Structure 1
Amino acid sequence: MFGYITISEPELKVKDLRKYKAYYCGLCRTLKERYGSLGQLTLSYDMTFSVILLTSLYESETQHSTHRCKVHPVKKQDMLQNEFTEYAADMNMILTYYHMKDDWIDEKKVSGFAGTYALRGRVKKIIRNYPRQSRVIQKELKELSEYEKEGSADIDKTAGCFGRLMAELFVYKEDQWEQRLRRMGFFLGKFIYLMDAYEDLDKDLKEGCYNPLKELRQKEDYEERCKEMLCMMIAECSAQFEGLPCLLDVDILRNILYDGVWTRYRKIQEQKKKSEDKSHDEKSI
């Protein structure tokens, strides 16, 4: 469900692109240092965005280093790490743990049991350190699972679960920025959930899997309504962002919110157009 909150690379200055990659690589290294190779598997663009956002808002002291890795074994990569990199890594692990736990409880997936067993010891410590976030993540994932079992077509309810989950992750500490960060995370979380459902709909219909957009898909104005919902969510999120006193890396953050978040959407549209053109050509023949 993650991977939608990324940059629009062509529209980013070279120096900003390098810095973005350094944050991304820094999060990857932190996951490796704290949780090993299993931790690295949880790496996402979405949590990289949260690192940059919180670093900008709180102007945290950030450490720069260069390292080689399995992906880049020859050339050392720039890496940026700070307290928010560690926070994002911890949140990634909690999310992964509860997701795997639900997979085991709900569907008896062996991978869910194995992952839960492998992470239990490490995640217990994180849960003790972040009881507020852990409690909300567990609650919202459980509620979302129940809606999915029911086959709920109430998009606001299902997307709302993921929205409240992301809202809690964005609140690093309860201070004067809490409400704005919470609302920003809420709408961004709903955007992620809706985009994921939109991208997976054809596959889910084919495989008979749950998707909250199934009923809406039958409407003639399906595409327009989906885009309208996505635009509304990201507009609300961006409005909350503009109320934050972010100056550091603000060009990267705006690039993501105003352009990068639509990267996957544009690819989906391109694929649909190619598919339609191919179908049209075959009919003509």
Structure 2
Amino acid sequence: MLAPCPSRTPDDLKPRWMGHFCGLCLELRDDAGQFARLTTNYDALALSVLVEAQQGDESDSRNAGPCALRGMRRQRIATGGGPRLAATASLLLASAKIRDHVEDGDGIAARRGARGIAGLTADRLRAKAITIGESIDLSTEPLVAMIERQREIEADCGPDTPLTTVTAPTETATAELFAHAALLGGRPENAEPFRTAGAAFGRLAHLLDAAEDFDEDAERGAWNPLAATGTGVDGARDLAKVALADMKRALGAASIVDTALTELLLDRYARHAFTKTFGSTCSTHQTAERRRYRERRDYRQERRYERRSRYDHGHYRPEPRNFFAGLCAFTVLCCTCQMCCREEYEGPWSRRRREGCCRDCDCCDCCPCDGDCCGCGCD
């Protein structure tokens, strides 16, 4: 939900955002092993940002050495309770997602021999999350209980079940994580406002995920809360809009020293995520129109890639690489950050010309009204 967008991030906040991202990644490496870095979660960064926002210049940080994932550049990174809290959330989320795949028999667990390995991986990630949580005096038992209760609620869900009943476990778990950020930041008086904001954040994330997967789940016959409760995408949109307002109101009532990053992530990025999924917050803006716009945009992008792939600097494109050669090329591209930061790079398997995801960011074109660019009364 809080994926970065270079066009929407002020230049002076980009290093600070990267400092939290790298701080979380390195915290996972140090406390849970190299493999745990794969669980780095953008949304969990909000917890680290909230802790720092209450401390201001007194927040913990250190200089990190060069890293291939940021182009071999040094970085000032966040340390201390904030990244540990974010690491706990990332590991719990990853563990829950893998466990869902194991119990449903889909995703990575659908492959032969992968079910047992996936189950062991989920248990290991959860154990690491509990250990890190204990180091910051966070009781993870209620969080784990909420995650396990989610499946029970979904199993009992029917057309008469309120959608808020389905989202309740996510709201409760997220609320507790946000409230603990107030304690780690040294401002216990912020616990209640943060708890309210966390509940709204959890509901918003749950609804956005369900709306994004609505059509795909319908095609696959998979369970979706919006279909199971009969709420539909339009009903979820109304609840998500309320959650956005509740989160903004709660954070406004908290005592925060530095609001720059919290407003960026939990207001601007959150509203942008809402717009990408449901359309503009304007009441006159229709979701159907927004979907048609996105389909036309995706078609133009696909045609552009197709034209570029026929030729490479005036010559025919080389033959695609086999699986192992492509895997080696993919590793090099990832470790040198070319897939993010280069204007163009060669696809590891197809060898087509691709555009770096941070160089051609058209995610800001998804809505003509982002809620703060016109006088139409958007939230």
- What is the TM-score with the length of structure 2 in the denominator? 0.63
* Corresponding position of 1:259: 268
* Corresponding position of 1:200: 213
Distance 1:79 1:42, change over 3 A: same
**Are 1:31 and 2:28 an aligned pair?**
yes
Report Cα offsets for 1:63-94 as digits up to 9, x if no partner: 13132334235333442222211222133223
CA distance, structure 2, for counterparts of residue 176 and residue 130 of structure 1: 18
* Corresponding position of 1:147: 153
* Corresponding position of 1:273: 293
Matched residue of 2:44: which SS? helix
CA distance, structure 1, for counterparts of residue 94 and residue 298 of structure 2: 39
Paired amino acid for 1:84: G
Report Cα offsets for 1:85-111 as digits up to 9, x if no partner: 122213322343355445545659415
Q: Post-superposition shift, 1:145? A: 0.8
Matched residue of 1:67: which SS? strand
CA distance, structure 1, for counterparts of residue 247 and residue 30 of structure 2: 32
Which structure is higher in RCO with an 8 Å CA cutoff and minimum separation 6?
1
Question: Of the candidates 228, 231, 235, which is equivalent to residue 216 of structure 1?
Answer: 231
Question: Of the candidates 48, 52, 57, which is equivalent to residue 54 of structure 2?
Answer: 57
* Corresponding position of 1:71: 69
Paired amino acid for 1:193: H
% of aligned pairs identical?
16
Question: Which consecutive residues of structure 1, in runs of 5 or more, have no partner in the other structure?
Answer: 280-285
Contact 1:95 1:137 in 2 (8 A): no
Matched residue of 2:62: which SS? strand
Alignment of 1:3-152 (within 5 A): 4-6=1-3, 9-59=6-56, 60-101=58-99, 103-104=101-102, 107=105, 109=109, 110=115, 111-119=117-125, 122-123=128-129, 125-126=131-132, 128-129=134-135, 133-152=139-158
Paired amino acid for 1:216: T
Question: Of the candidates 144, 153, 173, which is equivalent to residue 165 of structure 1?
Answer: 173
The structure number with the bigger radius of gyration is: 2
Contact 1:94 1:127 in 2 (8 A): no
Report Cα offsets for 1:108-167 as digits up to 9, x if no partner: 941531313544653453465578641222221122111222344531111111000101
Q: Post-superposition shift, 1:205? A: 0.5
Contact 2:46 2:266 in 1 (8 A): no
CA distance, structure 2, for counterparts of residue 257 and residue 121 of structure 1: 29
- What is the TM-score with the length of structure 1 in the denominator? 0.82
Distance 1:138 1:277, change over 3 A: closer
Question: Which consecutive residues of structure 2, in runs of 5 or more, have no partner in the other structure?
Answer: 110-114, 280-289, 300-379
Contact 2:98 2:122 in 1 (8 A): yes
Matched residue of 1:255: which SS? helix
Alignment of 1:172-183 (within 5 A): 172=180, 173=183, 175-183=188-196
CA distance, structure 1, for counterparts of residue 127 and residue 197 of structure 2: 32
Contact 2:179 2:191 in 1 (8 A): yes
CA distance, structure 2, for counterparts of residue 128 and residue 255 of structure 1: 30
**Are 1:228 and 2:235 an aligned pair?**
no
Contact 1:94 1:134 in 2 (8 A): no
Q: Post-superposition shift, 1:30? A: 1.2
Distance 1:272 1:156, change over 3 A: farther
* Corresponding position of 1:188: 201
Distance 1:121 1:53, change over 3 A: closer
